[in-house]
């Protein structure tokens, strides 16, 4: 049983460019959350998708957007990249219940130059 998978593993982009990160949830999970983790900090919640809709959003600008597909996989898009967007982007999946544990993927390391 595959856990949460993310692609790509690493990515280097230039300021102003756009990036798309991908996530496949753990088998049987229907909810996907995205987190940003800066170096030396804990992960910060970006948003959560359930039934192909954004259900909750953290304190991130509209440059961050996402999508969930009918097979529950998800994409995170970031437009107009800034140097400060350099971070580890984590995807977590869970069942839509109120207190289910979240399973995290290994993350995508984004570097903006």
Q: Report the interface residues with other proteins, using CB under 8 A.
A: 4, 31, 33, 35, 40-45, 48, 50, 55-56, 58, 90, 92, 96-99, 101-107
- Beta carbon of residue 100, minimum distance to other proteins (angstroms, whole number): 8
In the bound state with other proteins, the residue whose beta carbon lies nearer, of 28 and 40, is: 40
In the bound state with other proteins, the residue whose beta carbon lies nearer, of 17 and 39, is: 39
- Beta carbon of residue 28, minimum distance to other proteins (angstroms, whole number): 15
- Sorted by sequence, the CB contacts under 8 Å of residue 75 that are 6+ apart come out as 20, 21, 22, 23, 66, 67, 69
In the bound state with other proteins, the residue whose beta carbon lies nearer, of 14 and 28, is: 28
Contacts 24+ apart (CB under 8 A), 38-47: 38/86, 38/87, 38/88, 39/87, 43/90, 46/76
- Sorted by sequence, the CB contacts under 8 Å of residue 11 that are 6+ apart come out as 19, 21, 108, 109, 110, 111
- Beta carbon of residue 9, minimum distance to other proteins (angstroms, whole number): 11
- Beta carbon of residue 56, minimum distance to other proteins (angstroms, whole number): 5
In the bound state with other proteins, the residue whose beta carbon lies nearer, of 26 and 78, is: 26
């Amino acid at each position: 049983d595959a856990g949460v998978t993310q692609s790509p593993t690493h990515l280097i982009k230039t300021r102003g460019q756009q990036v798309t990160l991908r996530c496949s949830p753990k088998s049987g999970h229907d909810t996907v959350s995205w987190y940003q983790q800066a170096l030396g900090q804990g992960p910060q919640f970006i948003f959560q998708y359930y039934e192909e809709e954004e259900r909750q959003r953290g304190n991130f600008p509209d440059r961050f957007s996402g999508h969930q597909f009918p097979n529950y996989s998800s994409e995170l898009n970031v437009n107009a990249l800034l140097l400060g967007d350099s971070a580890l982007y984590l995807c977590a999946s869970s069942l839509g219940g109120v207190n289910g544990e979240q399973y995290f993927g290994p993350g995508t390391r984004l570097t903006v130059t």
